[in-house]
Amino acid sequence: MKSTAAILPMGLFSRLLHAASPTPSETEGPFYPLVAQKDKDFDLTQIQGRQGSAKGRVILIEGQVLNADGKPIEDAMVDLWQANAAGRYRHHRDKNRAPLDPNFQGWAIVKSGREGRFRFKTIFPGIYPASAEWLRPPHIHFKVSKSGYTDLTTQMYFPGHKLNNSDLLLMQKSNEEAELMISKRIDAELEAYSYSIVMSVTKIKN
């Protein structure tokens, strides 16, 4: 089992500002993983039992799952999946001719901790064509669930990327919504990003 402490320096991450606005939802997309895999831990750069490491630029993502009052949500299920460094998903529906990476995990499911926190070590995702006219900017998919809250599926983008301004999905959001979907760079040397996720309480139907 890969150890969080072995790859993530203690004291690196500071407390996130509490956000009040719910994180905007987004389409799950066609590439949600369907084939079961044994290794779905926080470190996507290595697959348990294999010697090699994933190709590409290693990044760290840390965040916090909060409710609308800014309070942490403990034990929320955080489901993450993404394209590899070449822009290819490990999915039978992905017709991109970019190469697969046999050492890239590509999918992780972890629980948020006592303060709603989560951490991932992964690869900066590659650009890929959604159509002949549309290049998708680097992004990471999240699906978050917790009893008593409405399941949230969303996409996290990276700050300052030139394709953010022309992405057909991100352009459908208001400026305020788009800002909530773009991560923040928090450490230049280690290339670490923070991303807070705010969930809404499930409304009980009368």
Nearest to 123 by CA among 134, 145, 108: 108
* Two tokens, residue 58: 């290693």
Structure confidence at residue 203 (pLDDT): 73
Query: Which of 88, 119, 141, 195 is an active site residue?
Result: 141
Structure confidence at residue 104 (pLDDT): 98
Strand partners of residue 58: 123
Structure confidence at residue 158 (pLDDT): 98
Phi, psi angles (nearest 5°) of residue 150: -75, 130
Structure confidence at residue 13 (pLDDT): 45
Superfamily of domain 14-199: Aromatic compound dioxygenase (2.60.130.10)
Annotated catalytic, 139?
A: yes
In the chain, domain spans = 14-199
Query: Which of 139, 157, 193, 195 is an active site residue?
Result: 139
Mean pLDDT by 10 residues, the chain (206 residues): 46 46 95 92 95 96 95 97 98 95 97 95 97 96 97 98 97 97 92 96 74
* Strands 117-123, 58-67: pairing kind: antiparallel
Annotated catalytic, 195?
A: no
Query: Which of 88, 91, 119, 128 is an active site residue?
Result: 128
Structure confidence at residue 59 (pLDDT): 97
Annotated catalytic, 92?
A: no
Structure confidence at residue 142 (pLDDT): 98
Annotated catalytic, 128?
A: yes
Tell me the whole-structure pTM to 2 decimals: 0.89
Annotated catalytic, 18?
A: no
Structure confidence at residue 162 (pLDDT): 97
Angle at 23 between CA 201 and CA 149, to 5 degrees: 20
